[in-house]
Amino acid sequence: MAVVVHQRGIEDKSGQSAAIQRMFSSIAARYDFLNRFLSLGIDKSWRKKAVDEAWRDSTKTILDVCAGTGDLSLAFMERMKTGRITVSDFCYEMLELAQPKLDRHQHLQSELVQADATCLPFRSGKFDVVGAAFGIRNVTDLDAGIFEMARVARAGGRVVILEFSQPDNSIFSAVYLFYFKHILPLLGRLLSGSHIDAYRYLPKSVLAFATAEELKSRMELAGLVDVSYRKLMCGAVSIHVGNKS
């Protein structure tokens, strides 16, 4: 399965977006291992819960935005009996690693598309579910990214966003933030072998990202209705779901 490349939005190799793209390319080879190791394997259960929140029995077409190596796609595919899933990311190296995961599910149709989340190359109203797991905060224009996710969802479809947030419990928050700011960057740099400090960027991007309530409001501004969110791990992670009217 070849990666389909859409240059619109990814041809500009300067600025913040290009820097983020280079950073993820540099850690692609160790990305899955580091996700499992640094989250103690809990991230897989988070994705499963996100699928549970978004799932309807009528779900047949799914778009995974900012998909990385396709772990959210894989969680959806394990639930699907028939249908088609499209895996989209702006990092080509990540999509290459997603391919063997998709190949495990020969009974489903799938495609890999390199594209920018702020200008998705899909017609409006194409997908039953549009999802993003731990990637939307890396989009340089958050509102444009959410708007595009909402645009390509069909009427009656759903948009689901699984993302880090900041913990509610003060004691847990202190321990979590110490790990996130000091331990995780050190381990990430040592284990990734990357000269680009991707795992120092991670806590910075999380701390600068919208709160759960703010993200809910941004989804509503994009035209989604009945937006709700569920917090996990004392608020360190949240699952947002909105419906396309």
Domain ranges of the chain: 3-244
| CA-atom Rg of the chain in angstroms | 17
CATH homologous superfamily for the domain 3-244: Vaccinia Virus protein VP39 (3.40.50.150)
* Whole-number pLDDT of residue 99: 92
Spatial separation of the C-alpha atoms in residues 139 and 134, rounded to whole Å: 11
What is the number of other CB atoms lying within 10 angstroms of the CB of residue 97?
Answer: 16
Q: Which tokens hold the place of 183?
A: 């331990």
CA distances from 213 to 14, 157, 173, 220 (A): 32, 22, 18, 11
Residue 23 near residue 198, CB atoms below 8 Å: yes
For the chain, the 3-state helix, strand and coil shares in percent, each to the nearest 5, are 45, 25, 30
Please report how the helices 198-208 and 15-27 are oriented relative to each other, as an axis angle in degrees rounded to 10: 130
Spatial separation of the C-alpha atoms in residues 66 and 183, rounded to whole Å: 25
- What is the full per-residue pLDDT of the chain (245 aa) written as tens digits? 667 777 565 555 557 788 888 888 878 877 888 778 778 789 999 999 999 999 999 999 999 999 999 999 999 999 999 999 999 999 999 999 999 999 989 889 999 999 999 999 999 999 999 999 999 999 999 999 999 999 999 999 999 999 999 898 889 999 988 988 888 788 877 777 665 567 778 788 888 999 999 999 999 999 999 999 999 999 999 999 999 99
pTM score of the predicted model: 0.91
* Whole-number pLDDT of residue 212: 95
